[in-house]
Structure 1
Amino acid sequence: MGWIETESGGYSVALDGGTVLCRNAAGRALKQVPPKIKDDAVVVRLRQLAEWLERHERECGEQVDTWLVRSLPVPVALLARIWPDAAWQSALRDLVVAPVAADGTADMARAGFLRDVDAEKGAGIVDLDGDSVRLECESLLIPHPVLLEDLDDLREFAVELGVEQRVEQLFREVWRRPDEVTGQQWQAYAKGKFDQLRHATARAMTLGYRVRGGQTLCPLVEDGRALEAAFWLGADYPEAEAYTGALEWRDKDGRRLPLAEVGPVAWSEGERMAALLYAGRVVAGDEEELR
């Protein structure tokens, strides 16, 4: 971004990423914006722009993460419109995508790393043979990694290509449902101790999850069906000692699903939520250090 003269003092400012740079009338770069011009209209507008760009980049990443977690087909026409935006492109570039047929099924054999989207030419990818090709389709699927066959091989290939995904996909941890499970609640992450309930709820919100009625929640979609994973944290007052409880999955009507009916994406994301929260518990070594 070019230099812009401030309204007073002979200074010029510019925006570099999220940082406002400043130079004096002689053209010498300064370490920081002088206090006497911090309220200058030009400086204020640049700082507001920097805040907006940071927020926009975060929101783009969150939206792409939602498409991935819910394994929703995304129209190529939409991707073509947002691709020129650097924030959207950064979130989408190098994700593994697959063309979606008219009947809604994804052709995973033609999957590849997204490199370009054009309204007329379609989506440009590097396929799994290392060739640059164009996909002629109306929608693309951004598959959850638990749906990808030979995930370890894909990860190795991504390293060879120098792929860097801003939105976690290939290197996102996945959990797979055991072959034989019964009941409606998964107890693998129960009895995790937190000195105060507010420590657990704060961790949940920091990780991007909602907390309601003593549970942290993760909205999900599996095969077009709206679901919700719920992990018990506790419902006492915020300063009370708390212990984690069961992880369960519910449909849109609040009915608990038998564990054997939970699909691969819903299981992986629900267990991922529980594992991330459980990792913040107080362990025996921590308690001894506090004494």
Structure 2
Amino acid sequence: MVRGRDPLGWLVAGDGYEVTLVEGRVAARATTGRAAGRQLKSLPKQVREHPEVERLRRLTEWLERHEAACVAQVDTWMVSSLPVPTGLVVQVWQDEAWQSVLRDLVVVGDDKDEPGFLRDVTGSGELRMVNLDGETVRLSPETVTLPHPVLLPDLEELREFAAELGVVQRVEQIHRATWTRPADPAETATEVKEFAGGRFGSRFGLAARTTSLGYRVSGGYATCAVRDAGRTTEASVWIGEPYWDGDTETGGLTWHDREGRLLRLREVGPVAWSEGMRMAAALYAGRTVEEGKNA
């Protein structure tokens, strides 16, 4: 279903009124009298409980859940830089919800050094993208990748070109905050303390902030699992003992492999490092700042 258009047509909702969806909301128009054929500013009392109105409301709720699921799935593809079958992109492109999420994301095909913005899908099943030279090219590889921005060597050029094109991404990719691992961390180092010590008035409040940002709370930790270079790595930040309702502080940031082994910083991949630091920074940003001190 396409938001902002009138794909359903107008549905009869009692005597003298019709209803439809307009930009995700139920709208009504009169079919008689001076206002006949004109969309009304609000739903008349006579139709608010009509079965057709209730059906449209349920459809709207489903559409919102569907759009959220599309965003979450594409975000997973991008964060993990997973290869996505081109045929799948072509198939879901027919759905406006999928299309609005995928359009203008940076993709790469067989040539990993030739990124471009995905703009359309042709009738023959090819992907149309605009590269950094401003040229529209067609791709039909077996799979395409939506790279994590920390893996894009031309990230700054892509950001500048996106501004020229007026690109707005539904999934945060090229403007996603990124961190690069130091080139030579200490041999035995396993923890980053840059965002430790952020004070919060309530452990429950910090846990709520964690989940609102899309991260998971596991025991006393905020966690973020990332697939990096074919392996799953979990970043974690201490947020306080479970069920403790007093004040608490953020702890250091660490990474573990799939078996739970603590990783040395030298072993952490670029995406896992960036996403772990992004989580720690986002949690720390909500700390209590004493008056007179800089945030």
**Normalization by structure 2: what TM-score?**
0.90
With 165-174 and 176-185 compared, the bigger mean Cα shift is at 176-185
Matches within 5 A, 1:28-177: 28-100=38-110, 107-118=111-122, 120-177=124-181
Question: 1:111 touches 1:127 (CA, 8 Å); kept in 2?
Answer: yes
AA matched with 1:47? R
Deviations, residues 116-160 of structure 1 (Å, cap 9, x unaligned): 235844221111111111113100010011011131121111111
The CA RMSD measured in Å over matched residues stands at 1.6
Aligned partner of 2:12 in structure 1 is: 5
1:240 to 1:36, Cα distance in 2 relative to 1, 3 A: farther
Q: For 2:113, what is the secondary structure of its paired residue?
A: helix
Question: 2:87 touches 2:125 (CA, 8 Å); kept in 1?
Answer: no
Q: For 1:29, what is the secondary structure of its paired residue?
A: coil
Aligned partner of 1:104 in structure 2 is: none
Report the Cα distance in structure 2 between the residues aligned to 1:159 and 1:31, rounded to whole angstroms.
Answer: 36
Q: For 2:291, what is the secondary structure of its paired residue?
A: helix
Report the Cα distance in structure 2 between the residues aligned to 1:74 and 1:232, rounded to whole angstroms.
Answer: 34
AA matched with 2:84? V
Deviations, residues 81-124 of structure 1 (Å, cap 9, x unaligned): 10111110111111111014xxxxxx222221111235844221
Report the Cα distance in structure 1 between the residues aligned to 2:133 and 2:118, rounded to whole angstroms.
Answer: 14
- 1:208 aligned residue (199, 206, 214): 214
Report the Cα distance in structure 1 between the residues aligned to 2:262 and 2:30, rounded to whole angstroms.
Answer: 65
**Normalization by structure 1: what TM-score?**
0.92
Q: For 2:273, what is the secondary structure of its paired residue?
A: helix
Aligned partner of 2:3 in structure 1 is: none
AA matched with 2:168? E
With 254-263 and 30-39 compared, the bigger mean Cα shift is at 30-39
Question: 1:99 touches 1:137 (CA, 8 Å); kept in 2?
Answer: yes
Residue identity (%) = 50
Q: For 2:171, what is the secondary structure of its paired residue?
A: coil
Question: 1:194 touches 1:243 (CA, 8 Å); kept in 2?
Answer: yes
- How many pairs align? 280
AA matched with 2:138? R
Question: 1:76 touches 1:119 (CA, 8 Å); kept in 2?
Answer: no
User: Is the counterpart of residue 268 in structure 1 residue 274 in structure 2?
Assistant: yes
Q: CA deviation at 1:236?
A: 4.4
Question: 1:233 touches 1:243 (CA, 8 Å); kept in 2?
Answer: yes
Q: CA deviation at 1:285?
A: 1.9
Structure 1: which 5+ runs fail to align?
101-106
